[in-house]
Structure 1
Amino acid sequence: MASGVAVDDEVINLFNDIKKHRKQKAAFFRLSDDKTKIIVDHCMKVMCDDADPFKSFKDMLPKDDCRFIVYDALFDTEDSKNREQMIFISWAPDTATVQKKMIHASSRENIKKLFGLTAEWQVNDLCEVQPEDLAERLSRDTVVCIDGKVLPGKCG
């Protein structure tokens, strides 16, 4: 990687598992404590009884640390139902240290390419983490529902 930060094999294995089995809603990756590689932080499993999985996702974002996230979104557009797309999310809150944000920024393009995901969302503040903002990155068509939650102003 350009930043000198390697990607742990466990990151790649988890990504491939999510892509194949779709049992995880999101996977969070972080910089290791020694700042030499990107490692798995934790996963968010698909919960059938979760009324708002997007809120659960938002609650898992650290307030003062960066993360790379793969989010598996299930959504409906005005024209079609039950579309699924994995999106690469770069979380770098303003409250993270400058060093962490710099390493995160210099590693972002390479890890995104490694995953091969075209949909991307770069977020720096919790107020930006809204389903409507995610919807804009998922499809050129109008998204009316994400993960079972109807978006404001849309009819399901």
Structure 2
Amino acid sequence: MAMAFRMSTLGMSVSEECKNMFMELKKKKVHRFIVFKIDERSKLVMVDQVGDSAASYEELTASLPDDDCRYAVFDFDFVTVDNCRKSKIFFIAWSPSASKIRAKFLYATSKQGLRRVLDGVHYELQATDPTEMGIEVIRDRAK
């Protein structure tokens, strides 16, 4: 039986797969991004989609639904002004305007439980529109 991490709010749990995939992204650089979704029936936050190490930020944004909420993590690589290669992990809470109110509530109240499991996130973004999480926003935050 897969182990799950209990989240205090609404009895949601985070699947073991979420934590394992995040560790692979963080330590082994196997993934560029991970998209998570809540399965209401099982009351579990689970992995929805994964982008391999060569995936782009555009692939992440294209994988997010226009009418439903998701969580995502993205490993952003960049070069500093003094020519150092760096990597920062972003947590994105995606809650588009077209999503149902119940989904917005469920994702908003479950977010902190997932964030506690994803140890090593550098920055967090909340977005209701693609412009709020554009690559320019990511670049500005990572400086």
TM-score by length of 1: 0.79
Q: Which amino acid counterpart does residue 129 of structure 2 have in structure 1? A: D
Where structure 1 has 5 or more consecutive residues not aligned to the other structure, the ranges are 140-156
Distance (Å, rounded) in 2 between the aligned partners of 1:98 and 1:118: 28
Equivalent in the alignment of 1:16: 23
Name the CA distance, whole Å, in 2 between partners of 1:14 and 1:89.
16
| 4+ long deviations beyond 4 Å | none
Q: Which runs of 5+ in 2 are unaligned?
A: 1-6
Alignment pair present for 1:61 and 2:67: no
Look up the match of 2:14.
7
Paired residue for 1:76, among 67, 79, 86?
Answer: 79
Deviation at 1:64, TM superposition (A): 0.9
Structure 1, residues 68-96: CA drift from partner, whole Å, max 9, x if none?
11101101222233101111111111111
Q: How many residues align?
A: 135
1:124–1:39 CA distance, 2 compared to 1 (3 A): same
Residue among 129, 134, 137 paired with 2:138: 134
- In the TM superposition, residue 33 of structure 1 has moved relative to its aligned partner by 4.7
The answer on 1:43 being equivalent to 2:50 is yes
Greater C-alpha radius of gyration = 1
Kindly indicate which of the two structures has a greater share of residues assigned to helix: 2
Contact 2:125 2:133 in 1 (8 A): no
Contact 1:28/1:69, CA 8 A, preserved across alignment: yes
Query: Over aligned residues, Cα RMSD in angstroms?
Result: 1.6
- Look up the SS of the partner of 1:3 in the other structure: helix
